Amino acid sequence: MYGSLGKYEKAEEYQKKALRINQEIRHRDAEATCYGNLGALYELLGECDKAEEHQNKALAIKKEIGARQGEATCYSNLGSVYERRGEHGKAEEYWKKALVIRTDIGDRLGEATCYVNLGAVYVSLGKYDEAERYQKEALVIAKEIGDRKGEAACYLNLGTLFQSRGIYAEAKEYLEKALAVSREIEDINKEIESHLRLAFNIFLMKNILGLPHEAFSNLFSCIEKCEKMRSFIRNNEQFKISLLDRHILSYKLLSALFCFSGNPNEALYVVELGRARALADLMSARYSMKQEISVKPQEWLGIERIMKQEISCNCLYLSYCTRYMFLWVLKENKPILFRLTDVNQCFVSKGLERTVDEVFSEESALRKFHVLHKGDCEDRSLFSSDANHSVGESSLQDNVAAVRLAEEELEEDQQPVPTLAECYKMFIAPVADLLDKPELVIIPDVILYKIPFAALKDESDKYLSETFRIRIVPSLNTLKLIQDSPADYHSQIGALIVGEPDVSEVLYKGRVKRLYPLPFARKEAEMIGRLLGPQPLLGNQATKRAVLQSIHSVSLIHFAAHGNPERGEIALAPQHAANGIASEEDYLLTMADISQLQLRAKLVVLSCCHSASGLVRAEGVIGIARAFLGSGARSVLVALWALEDSATEQLMSRFYEHLVRGESASESLHQAMKWMRSNGYPDVRDWAPFMLIGDNVAFNFGK
């Protein structure tokens, strides 16, 4: 019941209670059912790995006890997981296994469900005649046995089918029936899907500039219901992230329609509703502040006033939908300015038209922003190479492709990969005439967090960071939370400096691993210690326990250590047990560890490889940098790719020299990059990996 109502946290709580009791009383059949229900819940939230794990546990038990009907249910649920992943062939295989059992045991309801699912997968595979036959067979059974939920699913799938065929009038008829039944049985997910499909149908029927009110109405209904579901989730951050993943298309489409219909300000409010919401909730809790974003258009006032405290800044807000890039410029006490562009027009070598996701989701597109180092370097990636890796030996060959930052010869069938100059055309050129302040705050959208904005080049080969001091913020709401945080919240004194933790031999993902030393990271930490005063934690003193004991109260935190390439998590020295090898929880500083802290730091510097890394979700990048912001840090300096020894040491030296003089973090980074380009480090790979996220802090080191 709670699952149907969108109250996912309650649904999980009750399923887990049932699971515990059934395990305690050894009721194997019911235990398997609980695993299956939890798997279905996780699949609904897009957590496919957890869903598959739970469904396979359920399937093993159902087979063991000979529960044929339960076995069929597990096959059907696994089919849904594979369909969600886009593995249509595997989904078809499992649904057919389920159908054989359902038919054999005379389970009409289950049979109808299999027909519905197979019909849906045949739409994905473009087998429209088979899809229609299966869906109509399912509809007959659903009506016959009074299965209203199944009936709604059939109408929805038939509407989608006719939409795919371009028969829009019939599609609308079925989708309206799906909406009516979903409302009647209070299935909020089916309601949202029906509204979204109806909006799509109108979009496909009409010219985009002549969209009727119906499209807006349906998309508003989607978002209102998404926000209602969100209100049911209390403190479960993962559910909030998954919910936004599932429904982000509604926000994207509505904002795009506002843009194309000449209402870019309204579009910006909708985009903000779908941007870094779970992070804002974490920050609100840390600062003990209530921060609400309304879904009601009549309350959409004053968003531009967030920039009133940023007197020397312009804010560039980026969003995209399909192939269109939407750009807003916000200035202190000025009206919101708006431009849009088609990313396909920004390539010198034109290929087939692609969406923004297609342009930047290719690994090669992101690799192109940094290149292979030709000499010795100190790779601070976590376990990126073999255990016998020696000091000074380059391991970046294992991790970073050697791709030139220049125009390349393209094969006839190869799509163009954007250069830094072409990225400038996409993100900066359309609004270049509007940017008139020395500092530029950029709010990226999803995969655009991977772009090294500092290195984008204009038509005269001038880097963006030569003109502007640059920093990143996840959303306007998170910026406002930082601005409005209590004046006495962040510490004004104290520094925690960590360099070259002695990780030595530890367990990592079930295998014994040895990390090689980082002598340049030690030199970097010692240099910062001399500048700031505090004694750094080095080698075997830089334990996870020591760090967690000191991290709460200091104003500045600096890590120079190995970083996890997936999420940026940091390897520290373990408390060595006399009779064993340390496990991950003993030495790895994780997102979960940080999220349990209440930090007071004004600045966290993560001089570790990949510290900007994480899972790219609708929410943003879910990694260690976000964890620090969510736990109260005012700003975080992170690296986009694997760092190189002498270049990083030089950049950090220059950065802290300016910071100690009282200059702001963004000015210090700006000056450090400028010095690097002029003093033997002209390559983008050497000076462009670092980006500042959050506020532009400054320190009084006289204290």
Query: How do residues 519-538 score in pLDDT, each as one tens digit?
Result: 889 999 999 999 998 999 99
pLDDT of amino acid 278? 95
The packing angle between helices 148-164 and 108-124, to 10°, is: 20
Query: 537-539 and 511-514 as β-strands: parallel, antiparallel, unpaired?
Result: unpaired
653 vs 525: CA distance, rounded Å? 10
Residue 539 pairs in a beta bridge with 501
Residues 568 and 611: beta-carbon distance below 8 Å: yes
700 vs 703: CA distance, rounded Å? 6
12 vs 243: CA distance, rounded Å? 14
Residues 471 and 666: beta-carbon distance below 8 Å: yes
Percentages helix, strand, coil for the chain (3-state, rounded to 5) are 55, 10, 35
Element (H, E) at 427: helix 420-427
Closest among 123, 147, 148, 146 to 134, alpha carbons compared: 123
Chain centroid to Cα 296, Å, comes to: 26
pLDDT of amino acid 403? 26
For residue 42, give the amino acid letter: Y
CA–CA distances in Å: residue 469 to residues 12, 109, 313, 314, 673: 46, 62, 9, 11, 10
Residues whose CB is less than 8 angstroms from the CB of residue 549 and which lie 6 or more positions away in sequence, other chains included: none
pLDDT of amino acid 442? 98
Residues whose CB is less than 8 angstroms from the CB of residue 282 and which lie 6 or more positions away in sequence, other chains included: 237, 595, 629, 630, 631
Q: Give pLDDT < 70 ranges for the chain.
A: 206-211, 362-416, 576-579, 703
pLDDT of amino acid 234? 79
Residues 38 and 74: beta-carbon distance below 8 Å: no
Residue 571 pairs in a beta bridge with 588
Residues 199 and 219: beta-carbon distance below 8 Å: yes
Half-sphere exposure of 182 (CA within 13 A, CB side): 23
Closest among 572, 551, 568, 558 to 524, alpha carbons compared: 558
pLDDT of amino acid 362? 56
Provide the H-helix boundaries in 106-212.
Answer: 108-124, 128-145, 148-164, 168-185, 188-205
What b/e sequence results for 200-226 when a residue is b if at least 16 CB atoms lie within 10 Å of its CB, and e otherwise?
A: bbbbebeeeeebeeebbebbbbbbebb
Residue 508 pairs in a beta bridge with 511
Closest among 261, 271, 186 to 223, alpha carbons compared: 271
pLDDT of amino acid 53? 97
Tell me whether residue 509 is exposed, middle or buried, using C-beta atoms within 10 angstroms of its C-beta: 0 to 12, 13 to 18, 19 or more.
Answer: exposed
For residue 71, give the amino acid letter: E
Residues 36 and 54: beta-carbon distance below 8 Å: yes
89 vs 341: CA distance, rounded Å? 37
